[in-house]
Structure 1
């Protein structure tokens, strides 16, 4: 980004009339230290809070003015109390730096960011809502521009009155703070932290930022007696002793509030100089002060002042003259009188507006005016602006505000109209949070139930686009209770769509859809009816009834095809591919997902993400490397354009691909990024997926030993995820706990387990336990469940736990149990791993095949060759689980070579569960000799007990030799 020039500082900071700056020494020192850190590239954010009038703006202006004189580029923005522009207070600072960023945008991504922000900042009332890009992409573009600007010039971003910021700006604030921690930028934010101005949404936005090193909070306290005396010395030119007398009175009257001190110091000092001991007649509240100053104005002047106060903090004289019922001369005289009374400040330079001395003064004037007069003033302002000021800034938002305030006078319909238009403007600027808020406000006003339902539907859609699915569901549910039958059906469809993406159970969505569908004709030509069928199918599947859901989905897709409507077909396909990950008809779902990608490739929404996500999942299952590559590219595109939850899912895909490739460091990094991003977009995110991803990496890296001290072996399977507990026991080789947990998980397996997304993990963990234990009976039970996945990769959830080819596990089970064609299974597993570009899975298949061959021939050259190939993959990548299995196989081969013929007979009898006495009788030897043989066998094979010896015998084809 080329050099850029900062705009002039706000006139209110630099021209005469500013009160003296006193005290706040610690606060200034803290801000100076933050700036020093920012200059080194360690971005800082300092939030200054306090009561109204506590001096927040004065502190910020003093520090910014000084830093500007020292070479800092200062960008200032503020919020207004009424309906502001989307992303206010960031809009003006962005306008200051965007031209330079745009002119120097060489990279395609930089040009894209510049063009996006230009559209967002300059969007007009006539522009259509932009549905091609997500809100998070706007936030990323803002961060890109600010970071580039700070790279060229150290920068202070001063944002005032954040307690009035809209929800989209609050979310952007968090992103900017997090995204500029490595930039030469100091963000200064000011806000009120006490009722009635305290903003709970702002507090919620700031709370997570407290964990960041560069974020600091400064809360301003009232002036002390000595500080008030300092102020009086400067303003009145009194001695310190005399100033203390006035300071005591001022402290009692003002409580140390700087704004009140500024308003009251003169009459108090004058009263003290006249010898008054107590200034009882002075106002003791801001409202009283305003009342006393208004009292000196005549009726016409007072009405002009009220008009100005209702217009806003800053007042355009042209608008005052156009709206005032008094003549131009009288109106100008009234403004001059308000200036003389200290209620309004005049323009400080050409092009400036009149402004109230403080928001407190403005609000105090409104508070002392009868409510009916305020309502009439709002109505007069709205009508005049609408008729005579078509080019007024923020016209739509201002009309929405004034008509809303005047709705009791019969302007409710105008309020609804302009609130909806303001919401549409926010939509066009991709400020979906703001749009949702404004649509709800409009819905609360209209008496028409169908209009209310329509506004609620639009509000819910906006919150859904803002990735706040919880709020979207609540509003969709509210909309389902009003309006006509078709609106209730749309609400039910919307509720279901906002439910399946966070993975919620579908019972409530199914019930809403069933009720709504019953109220409309069952018309196979009706697009809404067809779309509702698709939604009902998915909701039904998310109750666990996949078999019942699939025919509903098939019918919806068929009806959509018959209609020839690409959007409708995309909606039904999107529902149908998300029903289940079970193995049956994976190829068909992959075909539908691929078709959906084609339909949504140029869509102005994020449906491409769902298409790409499920195409990626099905491609992994069948080993379609090309489909997986293309899906990852599409997800990356969605992540850049929409972010939301797509940047979580792209990391999950990257996790799976890195793990399958044997890149354990890359897999661990992707899992950490996925966990962080899930916590951002989903409030109800749990640690289940991230814990399983972490486990998958750690077990392949051989790093599970560190948890051994935390495992007693007596953990309750009902208090934890039992399959995970079983997996830990198996990896730690805890025999008795493994048997107990395996029996529990097997006993609690449902009738149709493959309908559950976590079934593959449960199935694999049970299989691995049975194989380690040499539990032939359990392995035989598991075999038909594994056989459902023959020819496919196993994956739990959507890229949570990839296990590779089911054929590898089938081969191991068949080898243990002594049936089937294990060698062919291992060959198929290796071929699938090669097709999937999955070296980890390939190494596992080679190692398992080698172990199988050694069962019948411990000296098998083919087994050694396979083991060598597996080791060549595993050693460079540090795949310790694979290497451990290879070492165990090599050790077993050596142990087998060391067993005598008699010891082979003995171990076969151990495998049958014979005691030493039984062995002695069977072999016609003494019990003492039998005991010696058992001892020698345990030593040679490295077993610690007879159970492990029995497992060794079964695994290496020795069982039965003692016949």
Structure 2
């Protein structure tokens, strides 16, 4: 069996001298300890020990970055052990990668094995040597430092190997065992003994042991409120802490709706308990990305990208680094209140393959999950990930309840006590919180007395268990003073966690009285103090909910208003209270706070966008639109501004369905106010959403046409404002608006459908001419943002135009002028050169672009670079390099639907190139069904390689039924390739003749399929068509042209394909 692996060898230096010095028995002990020390990093970096070699090990990895991380961790472990006084053996390591053969017994052989073994032998003590191939495959992952060694002659190999030395540094003294205490929420002991849960503790114990042994695991603890999910997680945490693990904790608050809150809380606790050097190292990961989660603990502003992917790459880097030193337990509490950004971050973290020895315990209320709840959607994805276990947390069984009661009443029980157990089991269903509240009431009300023998019994009066926890909580609160009770009532509306000064102000209590009241509540264990001075938190959400539900709706609304106004007075212009204020004023909108609610919701949306959470921003904007009073927006400008931001957020998520709805609502607003500027922007988003293309008679299409019919000279647009992609709002005029509209239509001219219906309304009949008109209008508007947008539209419309040289020149011009939208011409320059076969130039261009991408934090350019490297490697037959480059591109694209769709199509191209047609077809069919675009011709072309001619015929029939459309510039090369392959396979002469003429425009180029891959040269496909309509000599001539072109550019797989075609014709090359 063949596979592509990274191979690592270790060897102990001077082991013979150590044997002579220590003797057989002691040396055997040291040797075994040495190998065990190395096995920890192997397990935490997903390695497989192939075999032990006496003093060393042979290890296989599927990823080069994992192998390097393991090598560094091995050296650090050996050095740390020696520093701690242990008798050890100096270590040397060699690493190589490539195609290997796997034997049935698990052994591995191949050139990469020989190279790794020989590099290990050539290394000195403390050195890690690797091949240049390993360096390339690892890329920037792991942040390793490499020192080039040049060509190194290795025993047993005829040619020298390009090698590098991998740098590493000893673990800092403070890092060997950073003293991080349990998080406060876990450190505080409950007044109740932990009872029952034997099965759950056993299951979590097994997961924890697997983590200690090197695995990565996730436990999902779901149950009703009060079931004891957090307490169960705490028991695991205390035991893990005792074993030397790092324990982290983060929770999600019900009303805060802060993106990434639990991750930020976990990080803050860690950073608050480590030294300055460690803190600076963590906050410096990925350009300071983690400083965005804990800005108050960072002295410097982040310099790296602000997107969510970079943020959680840095978070994963941090956990991975910690897990190499000790196992890590991360508890994420109350995820049923988490928003989509937090849940997506969790999913990305769980899917990460580099965390190492980490157990993530997630708690959530499964009783609050509807079918459309964000967590419900994510649970299905989480459960499909290897290493994720779901552990339902139900009520205590009868034995557990008995243990609970026995512990609470300090002794064994007589018949009355057993009766209490029966009643509690029946009426609480074993819910530990309900039981604890009832037992607290028993204690406080004197409903129990002590028998002489120490047996706790019920009083003679039969104790009547309250019907529900609301009654229990009510009775417990009734034991407090009136002022303390009033404080808790206000606090319940304030939230699960609250500011004591704000609550005291709204409750109309002075400092002395409020402090006494809060002390009472703390003593009653109804609330507890948090890490932040002046803030308290309810001991359980059910306590807060019970108190809040006792209020009338009118009283609750007024309290929300008063809390919002108090927070405004105490924290004016504070960025940290914006979300809290948005919540309070939204709840108080019915009593005249709609304007405030809208303003704060808009500010909260802005904060969410800055955090890289467009989904949460969209939620706030939708709320703002719902709450905005009509009297405060008579001219519609506020709604116009909210629609602009909401459309931008939805497009960032590629949520075209909701974008369509927003565009239609925006259009209705524009028509209501007869505002040309609003109408243009609503039209732009209707075009961008693409949904109008599905129904050519749609009302949306007529609205687009109607907007185009308006003469801009007849309308006033003074003060028309728009959301600039550079940030902020700016004014524009009629010319700028018209330029934006025409440029957008040109870019969306035909992604598979055509715009014939609009032909009569447009000043040009093809996309390039239309962008020229847009250019002229942009110049007249003197608006740099509009000019940028139009230049990008023009370049995008030219991507698949037959004149690739013109595209290259235009892209160079745009780059020179410094336009910035859509990558600033850099992606188009790469594609133009790739189409012309200038593959070496492509590599030179993308090397320069990568620096720019990282400097700007531009994911689009960075993905473009990796896609270009993928295609260059595929075209030249270096499939391992293509796989590595594509993996990096896919990692960066994760979480962005539009980018993930692009990467899916790149994957189709890679699998076609490697002959993996089954996988290619599955992905292509999924895209054809999921996208708004027609990919039937791609599916048909792949089907021909499988011998499925019926699917090829279906693709051709669909094309014929559609009127043989070929006008789409962006999709044209892809359609020409796919349909031509289908026509050749089934022998459709008529289709071949129809396709031949338009394809000649691309002769001398590679054909680009959906901006994703290059399956053939145009000359080769022309040869297929000529062969199909019965002109073998013309076909042979095209094949010879193709072969000359493909050999010249080094496209080995394509040249092999063309030689086969010539052989089929019986023609010479």
Structure 1 length-normalised TM: 0.75
- 388 and 96 in structure 1: CA distance in 2 versus 1, 3 angstrom threshold: closer
The answer as to 2:684 corresponding to 1:493 is: yes
Which residue of 1 is the match for residue 29 of structure 2?
none
Which residue of 2 is the match for residue 206 of structure 1?
379
- 428 and 266 in structure 1: CA distance in 2 versus 1, 3 angstrom threshold: closer
* Residues 493, 548 of structure 2: 8 Å contact kept: yes
Greater mean deviation of Cα atoms: 365-374 or 744-753: 744-753
Q: Distance in 2 between matches of 1:409 and 1:744?
A: 63
Which residue of 1 is the match for residue 526 of structure 2?
344
* Residues 648, 674 of structure 1: 8 Å contact kept: yes
The alpha-carbon deviation at position 300 of structure 1 amounts to 4.0
Tell me which of 544, 551, 563 is aligned to 2:754: 544
The answer as to 2:1052 corresponding to 1:839 is: yes
Q: Distance in 2 between matches of 1:133 and 1:498?
A: 26
Q: Distance in 2 between matches of 1:44 and 1:105?
A: 26
Which residue of 2 is the match for residue 804 of structure 1?
1017
The answer as to 2:463 corresponding to 1:279 is: yes
* Residues 289, 305 of structure 2: 8 Å contact kept: no
- 587 and 544 in structure 1: CA distance in 2 versus 1, 3 angstrom threshold: farther
The alpha-carbon deviation at position 535 of structure 1 amounts to 1.0
The alpha-carbon deviation at position 801 of structure 1 amounts to 4.8
* Residues 504, 511 of structure 2: 8 Å contact kept: yes
Which residue of 2 is the match for residue 712 of structure 1?
none
The alpha-carbon deviation at position 532 of structure 1 amounts to 1.3
Which residue of 2 is the match for residue 262 of structure 1?
436
Tell me which of 79, 85, 107 is aligned to 2:252: 79
**Where do 1:6-45 residues align within 5 Å?**
7-45=180-218
Greater mean deviation of Cα atoms: 414-423 or 646-655: 646-655
Which residue of 1 is the match for residue 788 of structure 2?
570
Which residue of 1 is the match for residue 589 of structure 2?
407
Query: Which structure ranks higher in relative contact order (CA pairs < 8 Å, sequence separation ≥ 6)?
Result: 1
Which residue of 1 is the match for residue 669 of structure 2?
482
Tell me which of 245, 248, 255 is aligned to 2:419: 245
Greater mean deviation of Cα atoms: 685-694 or 418-427: 685-694
**Where do 1:389-428 residues align within 5 Å?**
389-390=571-572, 394-428=576-610
SS in 1 for 2:1015: strand
Q: Distance in 2 between matches of 1:803 and 1:579?
A: 22
The answer as to 2:912 corresponding to 1:696 is: yes
Q: Distance in 1 between matches of 2:704 and 2:653?
A: 24
Normalized per residue, the structure richer in helix is 1
Gaps of 5+ in 1: 708-718, 856-862, 867-963
Which residue of 1 is the match for residue 518 of structure 2?
335
Greater mean deviation of Cα atoms: 483-492 or 42-51: 483-492
The alpha-carbon deviation at position 518 of structure 1 amounts to 5.0
Cα deviation, 1:807-866, whole Å, max 9, x if unaligned, reads 6744993899669877875564345335644233344456656777x65xxxxxxx4xx5
Which residue of 1 is the match for residue 141 of structure 2?
none
- 305 and 525 in structure 1: CA distance in 2 versus 1, 3 angstrom threshold: closer
Cα deviation, 1:134-189, whole Å, max 9, x if unaligned, reads 33222322222222232233211111111112221111111111115651111111
Which residue of 1 is the match for residue 637 of structure 2?
450
Which residue of 2 is the match for residue 521 of structure 1?
712
The alpha-carbon deviation at position 364 of structure 1 amounts to 0.5
Cα deviation, 1:548-602, whole Å, max 9, x if unaligned, reads 444322211233245454432221122223336555444333433444445567x
Q: Distance in 1 between matches of 2:263 and 2:643?
A: 28
- 587 and 114 in structure 1: CA distance in 2 versus 1, 3 angstrom threshold: closer
* Residues 956, 983 of structure 2: 8 Å contact kept: no
The alpha-carbon deviation at position 289 of structure 1 amounts to 2.2
* Residues 623, 792 of structure 1: 8 Å contact kept: yes
The alpha-carbon deviation at position 322 of structure 1 amounts to 4.3
Cα deviation, 1:280-308, whole Å, max 9, x if unaligned, reads 3x422222223334445565443222122
Which residue of 2 is the match for residue 713 of structure 1?
none
* Residues 11, 348 of structure 1: 8 Å contact kept: yes
Tell me which of 316, 319, 322 is aligned to 1:146: 319
The answer as to 2:803 corresponding to 1:607 is: no
- 116 and 376 in structure 1: CA distance in 2 versus 1, 3 angstrom threshold: same
Q: Distance in 2 between matches of 1:772 and 1:173?
A: 47
Tell me which of 861, 868, 876 is aligned to 1:661: 876
Cα deviation, 1:31-86, whole Å, max 9, x if unaligned, reads 11111122233111111111111111111112112211211111111111112433
The alpha-carbon deviation at position 111 of structure 1 amounts to 4.6
The alpha-carbon deviation at position 506 of structure 1 amounts to 9.3
* Residues 808, 848 of structure 1: 8 Å contact kept: no
Gaps of 5+ in 2: 1-170, 449-456, 716-732, 757-764, 923-933
Q: Distance in 1 between matches of 2:566 and 2:952?
A: 82
**Where do 1:220-231 residues align within 5 Å?**
220-231=393-404
SS in 1 for 2:315: helix
The alpha-carbon deviation at position 334 of structure 1 amounts to 2.9
Q: Distance in 2 between matches of 1:482 and 1:687?
A: 37
Which residue of 2 is the match for residue 433 of structure 1?
615
The answer as to 2:1007 corresponding to 1:789 is: no
- 636 and 597 in structure 1: CA distance in 2 versus 1, 3 angstrom threshold: same
Which residue of 2 is the match for residue 306 of structure 1?
489
Q: Distance in 1 between matches of 2:355 and 2:303?
A: 31
**Where do 1:36-75 residues align within 5 Å?**
36-75=209-248
Cα deviation, 1:598-626, whole Å, max 9, x if unaligned, reads 5567x4xx7218x4444433332223436
Structure 2 length-normalised TM: 0.68
Tell me which of 344, 355, 380 is aligned to 1:171: 344
The alpha-carbon deviation at position 359 of structure 1 amounts to 0.9
**Where do 1:48-127 residues align within 5 Å?**
48-96=221-269, 103=277, 111=284, 113-119=286-292, 121-122=294-295
SS in 2 for 1:796: coil
SS in 1 for 2:1008: strand
Q: Distance in 2 between matches of 1:720 and 1:533?
A: 27
Which residue of 1 is the match for residue 7 of structure 2?
none
The answer as to 2:409 corresponding to 1:218 is: no
Which residue of 1 is the match for residue 837 of structure 2?
623
* Residues 795, 804 of structure 1: 8 Å contact kept: no
The count of residues paired between Structure 1 and Structure 2 equals: 832
Q: Distance in 1 between matches of 2:790 and 2:754?
A: 19
The alpha-carbon deviation at position 802 of structure 1 amounts to 1.9
- 113 and 695 in structure 1: CA distance in 2 versus 1, 3 angstrom threshold: closer
Q: Distance in 1 between matches of 2:661 and 2:326?
A: 45
Which residue of 1 is the match for residue 367 of structure 2?
194
Cα deviation, 1:293-339, whole Å, max 9, x if unaligned, reads 44455654432221222233234444444444133343334334434
Normalized per residue, the structure richer in strand is 2
Instruction: Please give the root-mean-square deviation of Cα atoms over the aligned residues, in Å.
Output: 4.6
Greater mean deviation of Cα atoms: 686-695 or 58-67: 686-695
